Structure 1
């Protein structure tokens, strides 16, 4: 099986250790995230913690596509993280990616990044309204999203679990994770507001975010709110309709698992 291993030039000294950590992925016991598709494990290398994401082996069509026509999720994650950092957008430092393939089919892939110790994720804002600086974080997050849009970054998985939040001296730092779905280019107003659709079901949060985005953009606040709330409701309808359909199709399963990262709450 062929192998393509790329390591960040700033991390070249760790190359043998990182390769070894990936090779022994199944033996690492500290799991950060585990689902039907991907598994993330934490390893410590020279006193620093890293996250290794193992992507699920794709279906046959994508095995062909990733082999010849499209970059794999691991490679895209690495490239997009580098792009974000070049634009001064927070994301864990991309360290390496590792691809395994045959001459005709793509197989397995891994993405390695530094582990960011955060105080919370956006998801906690949707479930715990007692957080003392809840509104301040939400407004700072909205300004962060506006910065993404101004830089032509459409983060297609802008959902509750994919933004890490760190408090620093009364301010907030945001780090995007799960980066393999992004588009780059000038974003019109409609596309910008639609980018908020997956974040929350709570109207009160939409009111705050639309107010702050109107301040940033100079757009009419009522216009921003109405469009943001409309897109939020449309996403909710589509999301739960998909759940209902899959429950009917896979009726023999005792419990249907929602797709990690897509759930709005």
Structure 2
């Protein structure tokens, strides 16, 4: 198994690789789906282990010869974010299982961070206070990310962790394997908000703040953000209806 570690975490290598051999038996599970995410204590450090599922037959070849694995991209993108001052858990290592012609499972390991809530909870939990302030500060965080040339393709509610520090809020990005790095044009910037909420009032806050930072017209910025969001929601629900329809047809034919 190929392994790459940050220099400052090389001392954890034997213990991390020992933990991987016992991955299914140890740790606290945070997510168990296509990928598996666990918190495992290693030499007194609380670490986040993400095991990416084994790719399909085509991607076994693609990841072996032509494209960086999700684990490698997560590690490298986290390093870039930290260099740019954008919040993300410390990247520690990535490991890849390879044979001569195939690619198997891979792991991305980072520091485990505790947060007060995620952006998803900000949408759904009415007990959270200071929502308008949080949204304004989050918008400044995204603006800084865009100004730094970072486009987070998975900018969705579950991928931003939020923690209150003193009288302000800090934001941390997770699930990093899909990013682009370029000088981001205006339309792309606003489209990057499309997956964040079904509530227009949240876009009114974020759109006004982003327009102020960008010296643009607030009304036009809000309208464009909201249009991208409506288009995304419509496409998402259409896809979901089609999926459910095919499921019902398949069941009916059994």
TM-score by length of 1: 0.92
CA displacement at 1:250 relative to structure 2: 2.8
Note the 1:17-56 alignment, pairs <5 A: 17-35=15-33, 37-56=34-53
1:212 counterpart residue number: 209
CA displacement at 1:178 relative to structure 2: 0.2
RMSD: 1.3
CA displacement at 1:47 relative to structure 2: 2.2
Note the 1:4-15 alignment, pairs <5 A: 4-15=2-13
- Asked if structure 1 preserves the Cα contact closer than 8 Å seen for 2:27 and 2:41, the reply is no
- Asked if structure 2 preserves the Cα contact closer than 8 Å seen for 1:38 and 1:53, the reply is yes
Gaps of 5+ in 1: 255-265
1:258 counterpart residue number: none
1:193 counterpart residue number: 190
- Asked if structure 2 preserves the Cα contact closer than 8 Å seen for 1:197 and 1:235, the reply is yes
CA displacement at 1:247 relative to structure 2: 1.6
Note the 1:16-165 alignment, pairs <5 A: 16-35=14-33, 37-165=34-162
Q: How far apart, in 2, do the equivalents of 1:245 and 1:64 lie? A: 31
Give the aligned length: 251
2:166 counterpart residue number: 169
Q: How far apart, in 2, do the equivalents of 1:203 and 1:212 lie? A: 14
Q: Is the counterpart of residue 232 in structure 1 residue 241 in structure 2?
A: no
Once the two structures are superposed, residues 109-146 of structure 1 have per-residue CA deviations (whole angstroms, 9 ceiling, x without a partner) of 01100000101110011102342111111110010000
Q: How far apart, in 2, do the equivalents of 1:185 and 1:95 lie? A: 25
SS, match of residue 251 in structure 1: helix
Gaps of 5+ in 2: none
Question: Quick check: 245-254 or 128-137, which moved more?
Answer: 245-254
TM-score by length of 2: 0.96
- Asked if structure 1 preserves the Cα contact closer than 8 Å seen for 2:60 and 2:102, the reply is yes
Q: How far apart, in 1, do the equivalents of 2:174 and 2:165 lie? A: 19
1:261 counterpart residue number: none
- Asked if structure 1 preserves the Cα contact closer than 8 Å seen for 2:15 and 2:43, the reply is no
Q: How far apart, in 2, do the equivalents of 1:132 and 1:161 lie? A: 19
CA displacement at 1:253 relative to structure 2: 8.5
